[in-house]
């Protein structure tokens, strides 16, 4: 279904959460409606309509764009309240500089103005340019480290002028591994490309596995299609150690032990092959290495009984699941990032990714496996980012690359050269990066020059020398794809930037001028970059030009379809982009890299002994976006209503053996650090597993975030972070003599 043009007329805004629905704008009011795109780091990339009061130029309402073919007119609860963030009194509105003599460290909210003073953009840009020049001259340009992730995922905001700037500077390159690199490497090994079924096709499935995927909390717009399928008789099975809302609403919840998904997937393969349920024609025509895989999975290591012992899932549940998966068509798997954040996580994604190759699920409309759709977009990132500029830098060659999932190490251990300047934008690493103590130790170095560009005074900004204000997505122009659907969108600025905030594109263009970079590409503005992003020969982008998007801001990719209009990736052998040209069970290229060419389960190397017997899930909040929104009172209230703020979710049996009762203050610790939280006794976590939520460090009771517990170990494929492979012990906190337990509990229980 091609998206229809929107003119804002007849908008029927509704929201998933009834309590956040806002009244329709009064038709007689003087308003205009602008199509923007939610650019938070979420698979859904919702079409958003912003209603602007033309008298005040304020955005008075935002709502989902009903013409979007996938996100269809509703927003998640967090972005339905986005205006609370845009117009928050805490927005960072002008550049600021650390006051002379103030040491770097975490600040209490409201204390920032004591540590920082307002300066003009000219002063800020001059100071940054001269310091970066000095660092480059003294230590070499690679001693400068850019650090960015997905504060905005539009093509311009995520990576364009910023990349040009750091390429031309010769700064260290950043390997952006913190989220998706393990799964990317895994699917590249199996398929050579990451595309999957259209989200709309889930409505046709008869069996849906949500595997390490919190649909309700993290990507709600798949849910209506899942529900449609269920109304037609489909079953939803959720495989997740934690009982999410998605799991509660499912037909079956399999509470697997964290980090054991490879074993479960291979146990399913064992049953499928043992019972002769594989699709032999598909395997013959479309796959590579089947015999080798069969030899591996038919060993006793992957028998249902052995897999049950590893995964904690009963053998008969494994057998029933495998048989149902192989004999129900269409069967679709929504695998998400949850399974990847462990040492064996790349292989887990690889093994799960192979399941439809064994059963031929790809042949059916509504079948297959969806990890990410991002590879389907062909935006011209080479033109936006210009890596060739590194040759014009003082290095005259490609710069070294540092892994963002090891920022603590980069700031405290890397030499030749050491990092002397850190430039953070689109990210809050002081809260989101693993091994927080090492990260903060690095950020507190007096000899490190740190710039932070953000909308708020984040934990990272607390450690900056210079802080710069950035706009929200309503305040900048961009163009965006998605990683959960196949619709390209223009995102038009609905309002002027708040205060003196300026976009990433503007900031790095200005800095380039100050650094004396004369290449014409640094003179380009947002309009130039939009045109370049869309200047692509990619066949699926046919017709999607800037001119066309200005007429209709949402355009579906021109995906190849059969005569019934269905998009069936990997239904035949023409789709694979692997070395063998087939779906690879066995990978010669992994073998060449000295890796196991077949999937295989290996237990996590994280210490798991009597001193740290509990597995910790440092999870995302349902109502925040990583650390974004964690400081907004309305969003804190929503999260407080869900599980309470500062909660440690622990199984009642694990609590009982430690003498812990509901609301007791507890200390959660391992060799990297410790956290004070409030015990919340719940069956949402299985025995042996505890959970807590990612947020802003400075808003927690003891100033620490969950990432003090996580490590800088990397995933087996893709060099990703292993957040969910963390072991801890929990004990009752020792309450200081001058505070009694009730008093300290109130700190935790109090809503925002």
Ligand X SMILES: Nc1nc2c(c(=O)[nH]1)N[C@H]1C(S)=C(S)[C@@H](COP(=O)(O)OP(=O)(O)OC[C@H]3O[C@@H](n4cnc5c(=O)[nH]c(N)nc54)[C@H](O)[C@@H]3O)O[C@H]1N2
Q: Which of the listed partners (ligand SF4, ligand X, Mo ion, none) does 385 bind, with a CB threshold of 5 to 8 Å by partner kind?
A: none
CB 69 to ligand SF4: min, Å: 14
**Residue range at the interface with ligand X (CB under 6 A); choices 253-261, 278-286, 492-500, 525-533:** 253-261
| Pick 259 or 719: Cβ nearer ligand X | 259
Alpha helices, DSSP H, located in 87-235: 112-115, 121-139, 155-158, 161-169, 181-190, 215-218, 223-231
CB atoms within 10 A of CB 742: 10
624 scored as a contact of ligand X (CB under 6 A): yes
Q: Are 503 and 468 in contact (CB under 8 A)?
A: no
CA atoms within 13 A on the CB side of 104: 23
Q: Are 367 and 356 in contact (CB under 8 A)?
A: yes
Site string for ligand X, 175-204 (x = CB under 6 A): ---xx-------------------------
| Helix, strand, or coil (residue 674) | strand
Q: Which of the listed partners (ligand SF4, ligand X, Mo ion, none) does 455 bind, with a CB threshold of 5 to 8 Å by partner kind?
A: ligand X
Question: Is the sign of the CA dihedral 622, 628, 631, 633 positive or negative?
Answer: negative
458 phi/psi in degrees, rounded to 5: -75, 175
Q: Which of the listed partners (Mo ion, ligand SF4, ligand X, none) does 677 bind, with a CB threshold of 5 to 8 Å by partner kind?
A: none
Q: Are 272 and 278 in contact (CB under 8 A)?
A: yes
- Looking at residue 20, what DSSP letter applies? G
Provide the binding-site residues for Mo ion, judged by CB under 5 A: 179
626 scored as a contact of ligand X (CB under 6 A): yes
Q: Are 208 and 234 in contact (CB under 8 A)?
A: yes
| Helix, strand, or coil (residue 648) | strand
| Pick 179 or 557: Cβ nearer Mo ion | 179
CB 433 to ligand X: min, Å: 7
Which residue is nearest to Mo ion, using beta carbons?
179
**Residue range at the interface with ligand X (CB under 6 A); choices 51-59, 125-133, 567-575, 621-629:** 621-629
CB 667 to ligand SF4: min, Å: 33
Please state whether the peptide bond connecting residue 354 to the residue before it is cis, i.e. omega within 30 degrees of 0: no
CB 694 to ligand X: min, Å: 4
CB 178 to Mo ion: min, Å: 7
Here the tokens at position 669 are 């610790």
| Helix, strand, or coil (residue 677) | strand
**Residue range at the interface with ligand X (CB under 6 A); choices 134-142, 257-265, 636-644, 680-688:** 257-265
Nearest to 361 by CA among 480, 161, 197, 200: 197
617 scored as a contact of ligand X (CB under 6 A): yes
220 scored as a contact of ligand SF4 (CB under 6 A): yes
Please state whether the peptide bond connecting residue 417 to the residue before it is cis, i.e. omega within 30 degrees of 0: yes
| Helix, strand, or coil (residue 643) | coil
Hey, which residues between 20 and 79 contact ligand SF4 (CB under 6 A)? Answer: 38, 40, 42, 44-46, 71, 75-76, 78-79
* Residues sharing a CB contact under 8 Å with residue 284, sequence separation 6 or more, in sequence order: none
Q: Which of the listed partners (ligand X, ligand SF4, Mo ion, none) does 44 bind, with a CB threshold of 5 to 8 Å by partner kind?
A: ligand SF4
Distance, CA of 516 to CA of 436 (rounded, Å): 36
Q: Which of the listed partners (ligand SF4, ligand X, Mo ion, none) does 154 bind, with a CB threshold of 5 to 8 Å by partner kind?
A: none
Sole binder of ligand X in the list 51, 136, 427, 697 (CB under 6 A): 427
**Residue range at the interface with ligand X (CB under 6 A); choices 122-130, 237-245, 293-301, 488-496:** 237-245
Sole binder of ligand X in the list 278, 622, 654, 712 (CB under 6 A): 622
CA atoms within 13 A on the CB side of 636: 16
259 scored as a contact of ligand X (CB under 6 A): yes
218 scored as a contact of ligand X (CB under 6 A): yes
Q: Which of the listed partners (ligand X, ligand SF4, Mo ion, none) does 220 bind, with a CB threshold of 5 to 8 Å by partner kind?
A: ligand SF4
| Pick 63 or 247: Cβ nearer ligand X | 247
Please state whether the peptide bond connecting residue 634 to the residue before it is cis, i.e. omega within 30 degrees of 0: no
627 scored as a contact of ligand X (CB under 6 A): yes
- Cα dist from 296 to 269, 278, 598, 687, whole Å: 10, 16, 8, 31
Nearest to 556 by CA among 168, 38, 69, 58: 69
Q: Which of the listed partners (ligand SF4, ligand X, Mo ion, none) does 31 bind, with a CB threshold of 5 to 8 Å by partner kind?
A: none
Distance, CA of 374 to CA of 193 (rounded, Å): 10
Report the interface residues with ligand SF4, using CB under 6 A. 38, 40, 42, 44-46, 71, 75-76, 78-79, 220-221
Report the interface residues with ligand X, using CB under 6 A. 41-42, 149-152, 157, 178-179, 211-214, 217-219, 239-242, 244, 256, 258-259, 261, 336-339, 342, 425-428, 432, 453-456, 458, 470-471, 504, 617-622, 624-628, 694, 706-707, 710, 723-724
């Amino acid at each position: 279904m091609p998206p229809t043009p929107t003119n804002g007329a007849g908008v029927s805004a509704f929201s998933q959460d009834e309590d956040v629905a806002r009244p329709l704008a009064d038709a007689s009011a003087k308003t205009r409606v602008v199509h923007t795109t939610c650019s938070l780091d979420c698979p859904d990339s919702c079409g958003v309509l912003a209603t602007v009061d033309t008298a005040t130029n304020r955005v008075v309402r935002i709502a989902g764009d009903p013409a979007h073919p996938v996100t269809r007119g509703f927003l998640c609860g967090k972005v339905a309240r986005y205006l609370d963030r845009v117009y928050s009194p805490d927005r960072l509105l002008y550049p600021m500089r650390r006051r002379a003599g103030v040491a770097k460290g975490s600040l209490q909210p409201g204390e920032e103005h004591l540590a920082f003073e307002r300066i003009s953009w000219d002063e800020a840009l001059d100071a940054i340019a001269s310091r970066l020049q000095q660092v480059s001259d003294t230590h070499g340009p690679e001693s400068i480290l850019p650090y960015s992730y997905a504060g905005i995922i539009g093509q311009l905001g995520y990576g364009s002028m910023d990349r040009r700037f750091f390429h031309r500077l010769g700064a260290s390159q950043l390997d952006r591994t913190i989220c998706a690199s393990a799964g990317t490497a895994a699917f590249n090994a199996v398929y050579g490309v990451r595309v999957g079924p259209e989200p709309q096709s889930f409505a046709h499935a008869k069996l849906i596995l949500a595997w390490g995927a919190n649909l309700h909390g993290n990507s709600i717009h798949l849910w209506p299609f899942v529900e449609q399928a269920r109304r037609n008789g489909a079953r939803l099975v959720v495989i997740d150690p934690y009982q999410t809302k998605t799991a509660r609403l499912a037909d079956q919840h399999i509470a697997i032990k964290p980090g054991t998904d490879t074993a479960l997937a291979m146990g399913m393969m064992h049953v499928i092959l043992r019972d002769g349920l594989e699709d032999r024609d598909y395997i013959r025509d479309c796959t590579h290495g089947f015999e080798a895989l069969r030899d591996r999975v038919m060993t006793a290591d992957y028998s249902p009984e052995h897999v049950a012992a590893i995964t904690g899932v009963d053998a008969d549940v494994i057998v029933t699941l495998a048989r149902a998966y192989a004999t129900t068509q269409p069967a679709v798997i929504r695998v998400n990032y949850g399974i990847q954040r462990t040492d064996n996580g790349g292989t887990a994604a690889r093994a799960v990714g192979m399941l439809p190759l064994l059963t031929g699920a790809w042949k059916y409309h509504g079948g297959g496996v969806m990890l990410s759709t991002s590879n389907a977009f062909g935006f011209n990132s080479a033109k936006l980012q210009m890596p060739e500029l590194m040759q014009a830098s003082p290095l005259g060659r490609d710069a070294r690359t540092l892994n963002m999932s090891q920022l603590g190490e980069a700031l405290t251990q890397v030499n030749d050269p050491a990092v002397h300047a850190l430039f953070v934008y689109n990210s809050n690493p002081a809260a989101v990066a693993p091994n927080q103590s090492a990260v903060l130790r690095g950020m507190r170095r007096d000899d490190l020059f740190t710039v932070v560009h953000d909308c708020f005074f984040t934990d990272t900004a607390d450690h900056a020398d210079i802080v710069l204000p950035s706009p929200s997505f309503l305040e900048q122009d961009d163009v965006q794809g998605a990683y959960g659907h196949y619709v390209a969108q223009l995102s038009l600025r609905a309002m002027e930037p708040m205060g003196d905030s300026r976009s990433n594109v503007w900031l790095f263009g200005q800095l380039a001028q100050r650094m004396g970079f004369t290449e014409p590409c640094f003179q380009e503005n947002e309009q130039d970059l939009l045109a370049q992003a869309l200047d692509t020969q990619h066949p699926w982008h046919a017709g999607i030009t800037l001119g066309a998007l200005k007429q209709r801001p949402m355009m579906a990719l021109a995906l190849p379809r059969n005569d019934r209009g269905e998009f069936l990736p990997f239904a035949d052998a023409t789709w694979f982009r692997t070395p063998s040209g087939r779906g690879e069970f066995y990978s010669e290229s992994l073998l060449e890299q000295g890796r196991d060419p077949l999937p295989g389960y290996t237990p996590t190397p994280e210490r798991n002994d009597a001193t740290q017997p509990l597995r910790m899930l440092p999870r995302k909040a349902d109502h925040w976006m990583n650390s974004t929104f964690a400081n907004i009172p309305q969003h804190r209230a929503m999260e407080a209503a869900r599980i309470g703020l500062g909660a440690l979710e622990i199984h009642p049996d694990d609590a009982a053996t430690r003498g812990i009762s509901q609301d007791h203050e507890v200390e959660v610790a391992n060799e990297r650090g410790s956290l004070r939280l409030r015990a919340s006794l719940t069956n949402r976590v299985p025995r042996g597993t505890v959970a807590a939520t990612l947020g802003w460090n400075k808003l927690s009771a003891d100033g620490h975030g969950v990432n003090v517990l996580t490590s800088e170990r990397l995933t087996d494929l893709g060099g990703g972070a292993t957040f969910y492979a963390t072991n801890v012990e929990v004990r009752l906190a020792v309450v200081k003599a001058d505070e009694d337990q009730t008093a300290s509990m109130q700190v935790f229980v109090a809503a925002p």
